[in-house]
Structure formats: structure tokens, C-alpha cells
A and B are shown apart, each in its own frame.
Chain A
């Protein structure tokens, strides 16, 4: 599974949400990575901190039988990210306009033509993401960035598996269309 490359081990999980520090130790980087991609580093730290506090506070609601702890945490984080929808959309739209500074990401080195192509792809993709319905965007980013499986996304968002599949199918069709359009240029 692609998640192998991440810092969090996938084979074992603290089962006790009461162990706040243990949860944090295992999952903070994954959640920060996911949230940073969505709302930038500064807001991400705030969201991730809040995610762990809520998880700790609601630890009696955690049901290991309904999925792992990491999807549960992603679900809390994704809910919190909805409070920052404007921030996320603003950044995506800025990227769609080709404004790389909007994310604070420096430009890549490389040949000018390749850089222009890459920036064009980024702009197209960003525009697509900005226009996705909220659920499709959540499902797509949990699949692509968090690298959750369908069932984990369903558990995280508390939606049926079929909804995950259909949302992901629709979102990816739009993404692929944007990428194909970029390739056709």
C-alpha cells in the first residue's frame, strides 16, 4: 500500500484514545500532511491540534470495531476542515490562477517549458478541486492524500461505501479529464 512511505506505521495502532500523547505520536504527521495540503501549514497545525483534543474528549465514542483509529481521526479532521472551506477554496483558486505564492510554495527549478506545463497542470487540477462538491472533494483527498481505502473513508465520513465509490468515481473522472486536457495541449 502506498502509505508505506509515510512515517506512521500502518501495522499497529494505539487502541486507546485516552492515550493522547500516544495517538499524537503515531498520527500527528499523517494528519498534518493531509491538512497542510488542504489549508496550508499554519491552519493545519490548528486543525490537527483540535482534532486530537476532540478525539480525546470523545474517546468514549471511538469504536475500534468500526474501523481503525487513523480513519476516525481523519474523519474528525475533515469535519474541522469544513470550517476552513473558504481558506481551502481561496488557495485552490489562487493556484488555478497560477499564483504559486498563494501557498507559500517556491517555484521549482527546471527548464522553462517544463515548468510552464507543470504550472498549467497544477492550475487545471486546482480549478477542478475548487469546483468539486464538498463530499467529492473530501472523498478524493482522503483517498489521494490520506491514502485511505474505500471502507476507511466510509468509516471516516460516516457515509455508505457506495457513496464513497460513486463520489470518488465522479471526482476522479473530472480530474482525469483535466489532466487529459492538459496533455492534449
Chain B
């Protein structure tokens, strides 16, 4: 018995003449996903735009009609995948180590006055995002590690994606918009002005961040805050002033469910602050010498996978995605310096 037996083939070809899914169909499906996703959601997952859909973007962009938006943040445009809380949120108090590390880093950040570059119309935040992702064969528990290089250009007014380039490919147009339900000047869509006016009282700041989250989402409020911060840092860490950076670090000391560890990536010693929920560890990687966020990692807490020793980089146990980034303000779209 095999998949090529005549009866099986006959069933496979029923109804006859059905074409393979077109690029347009794939693109429409992705748009349905982005339109239906509840907000907030980790931006980085949306930014890893599917290649097939991305091809659509390029094709349509040539025709001056970009219809694909990778950065859907709209709320309630369709059914929400699961509106039930499928497990308990992580209500554990922050670990003492994480609190101490964050406080120390806040002091470092406060003691290093940073100059936020002035932002003029037409300028963008360019982010070079160097990532590694673990992949595994279907029949194996041994993962290989693949490189994922991403360049992004964000409009600083809202952190909206305006251009991207994957793995060295020519940059392409992106046209992320702020959904009607959301406001410009928020943790989801930060602006230079909003960032400059962050409350310096960490309690007030954390209240504000928590207040922007979806109370009915399946993930806890603090988990949502953390993943929103992953997005925010990735898009506009460079726009944070000294006070705001320190206040955020102090605010995180009251987040439930966080832990910390030291990691070494590319010979850099970094501090990983992790929020764990439902077996998923979401980390922001900080440079402890500046308090700046410089990367992120995803960790499968219950992973039994092992890495292929031939992989070009070694990821820590359970790490399924790791990326570091660098940011700068550039004067035009697709500029890299």
C-alpha cells in the first residue's frame, strides 16, 4: 500500500482540475491572519514575513499597489483564535536575581546620559537583526541552526515598518498602518514624543504598560507587557532617553514571572531577562554595561531537542530562536548608515 496506488491517486485528484494554491491565495490567507490576530502580539513574528507572501509584496509593489501588510495589529477584525485562557498565567514574583540585576542595570543606565538623535521627517530607524533559528527534521530530535538576517526600516512615528530586506535580498516596501482601534503614541505604536515622556515613576510606568494590554487575552498581562517590550526595544531602543531607559528597567522589577541569567553571544556578555509562561520563555537581551536592549531569544522550557554539533552556532539548551540587533537613525529609506 502506498501513496501512489491508483485508488489513492484518484482520491487525491478529486475534484479534477483544482490548481495548486496561487501566490494570490497564499497572500490573501496571510492577510486574513494578520487582520485577525489579537493585539498586542510579538512584532518579531510578524516581521519574519513569509517568503511566499513577500514575493507577492514585491510583485504588487512594482505595480504601485501594495496590498499586503505584514504588520497587522488590528483588533477584532475577525474571530480571535482562542478566547479562552488555556492555562494559568505565571503569577510568580520576579526572582530576586532578576530584580537585583534590573536595579543594577537601571543604575548603570541612569549614570550614562545618552543623547537621543533628533528625528526629522523622512528619517527612519534602521535595524540590523541577526538571527538564528533552530530547525529539526520531522523524524529527528536533533536540530540544526539556520541563519536569519533581517534588515528593517521603521517610521519612528509609531514604529511602523516601512521597508525590509531578508538575507541580503533587495529591500522591499512595507506599509504597516496603525489600526483604527489603536493609537499612535503607545507601547504598541511608540513615537519619539511618547518615549520622551515616559513616566519616571516605575510604578506609574508599569501601570501604564499593563493598562495598554488586552485583559481578555489568553496570555497574562505581564507576559503581554514583556512581548510588547520586545517589540518596542527592537524598533526604537535607540530613541530612548536616559530617564526612560532607567525607568523601564526599574518598572520591570515588579513584573510577575521574570527571571534572569547571564549569556554570552558573539563573545559579548549579556543579561537575559526572561518571562516564562505556558512553557515558553521570552527573553530580552540587555547589555549590562549600558542598559540597552540588544537582542531577544525564545526558549522552549520543556524542550528535549539537541542541536546538531555541525551547526554553525551553538544555542543554549532549549533556545529555538536568538537574535541580536543594532539600530541607528538614517536619513532615507533603505539607507544603512
Contacts and interface: CB of A to CB of B under 8 A. Distances in A.
A13 to B, nearest CB: 6
Interface residues of A, number: 69
B10 A16 contact: no
A79 interface: no
B144 A32 contact: no
Interface of A: prevailing SS: helix
Interface string A71-86: 0000000000000000
Contact of A125 (B10, B25, B48, B87): B10
B10 A175 contact: yes
B52 A29 contact: yes
A129 to B, nearest CB: 7
Nearest to A126: B14
B36 A103 contact: no
A142 B304 CA distance: 28
A16 B50 contact: no
Nearest to B81: A53
A1 B3 contact: yes
Contacts of B303: 64
Given A21-B45, A65-B304, A175-B10, A15 B143 contact: yes
A172 B303 CA distance: 38
Interface string A33-50: 100110001001110111
Most chain A C-beta atoms within 10 Å of own C-beta, residue among B8, B14, B46, B321: B14
Interface string B19-58: 0110001101110110011000010011111111100000
Contacts of B143: 15
A179 B45 contact: no
8 contacts: A2-B4, A13-B137, A16-B321, A33-B21, A49-B33, A67-B138, A103-B15, A179-B10
